Structure 1
Amino acid sequence: MAEQKKVAVIMGSDSDLPVVKAAIDTCKEFGVPVEAHVMSAHRTPEQACSFAKEARANGFGAIIAAAGKAAHLAGVLAAHTTLPVIGIPVKSSTLDGLDALLATVQMPSGIPVATVAIDGAKNAALLAIQILAVSDPELAGKLDAMKRRMADEVIAKDRKLQEQL
């Protein structure tokens, strides 16, 4: 059996950790190996490019990139790898994250970046896990179980509401 692929969580600044912690925690909950690093598209571009170029050979199956403001990190990483890159636009004091959202989704043709909601780290991790689950039946089973739990919770909430009415 092949070794399970890792997920990389790259943040543009250590100040993004409170946001990306949800992605790290979600990967761990599913038993997916995860590494987190601080790299900047603007301050350490060589390091970011090198990481992306070597990610597949280093056992990664997906990269999550979180950045605020100009938010070029996901695009820079995506330009240097064929692995799926998922961008998390981070809300900053400027424009409430709209600037980061627009920077993350406006990739040129040929450099795709999947993008989640502003500060949507948990969904970024779940998307990365779904990508890995394409070739990992055990991981797919864990996702199926999560979806069943979510459905059961909604059904229970509806039942409780009906009892109150």
Structure 2
Amino acid sequence: MAKVAIVMGSDSDLPVMSKAADFLEEIGIDYEMTIISAHREPDIFFEWAKGAEERGVKVIIAGAGKAAHLPGMCAALFPMPVIGIPMKTSDLGGVDSLYSIVQMPSGIPVATVAINGGQNAGILAAKILATSDAQLLEKLKAYTEKMKKDVVAKDTKLKKVGYKNY
């Protein structure tokens, strides 16, 4: 049963949303992924969002661009955490998406990551789930330690070969 649902309004969002899926796979969290438009197929969207809890979903990651209503509508219909990913847009660089997602009315929160922040959305979903899963928490601690070691290795290489040969 999928613990995380990844939803996007368009296949053009897939390169960003796949980063969330990649992280969830790396850490061993089951997820479902779908393309659904809150604007173009609202009846299908409502059924999907209202059925997420029954499907075992604990966190929704929703990516959207421009008007970016998908994450907020998920939060209005789904009783557990929703993480919004604002998509970079050609018109306003994603600031339009960011404002649409982050400026939710009182009582309907959407946790929001950076513009095109797919990986961070996956990490945040894992951290939410880890509050009640000790094994997952240990995996996240190991991931954090690996990031630290990677930075130390890069610094060691820089000091060894110099910036011109890096």
TM-score scaled by length of structure 2: 0.91
Give the partner amino acid of 2:72: G
Q: Does 1:56 align with 2:53?
A: yes
Aligned partner of 1:20 in structure 2 is 17
The CA deviation at 1:164 is 5.5
Maintained 8 Å contact 2:64/2:87: yes
Aligned partner of 2:28 in structure 1 is 31
For residues 20 and 104 of structure 1, what CA distance do their matches in structure 2 show? 16
Q: Structure 1, unaligned stretches of length 5 or more?
A: none
Structure 1 runs (4+) deviating above 4 angstroms are 162-165
Q: Does 1:158 align with 2:155?
A: yes
Number of residue equivalences:
162
Q: State the percentage of identical aligned residues.
A: 53
Which has the larger displacement, 84-93 or 38-47?
Answer: 38-47
Q: Structure 2, unaligned stretches of length 5 or more?
A: none
For residues 79 and 149 of structure 2, what CA distance do their matches in structure 1 show? 37
TM-score scaled by length of structure 1: 0.92
Aligned partner of 2:3 in structure 1 is 6
Q: How does 1:1-165 map to 2 (within 5 A)?
A: 6-163=3-160
Q: Deviations over 1:42-62 (max 9, x none)?
A: 112222222222211111110
Maintained 8 Å contact 2:2/2:55: no
The CA deviation at 1:5 is 5.3
For residues 126 and 12 of structure 1, what CA distance do their matches in structure 2 show? 21
Q: CA RMSD in A?
A: 1.5
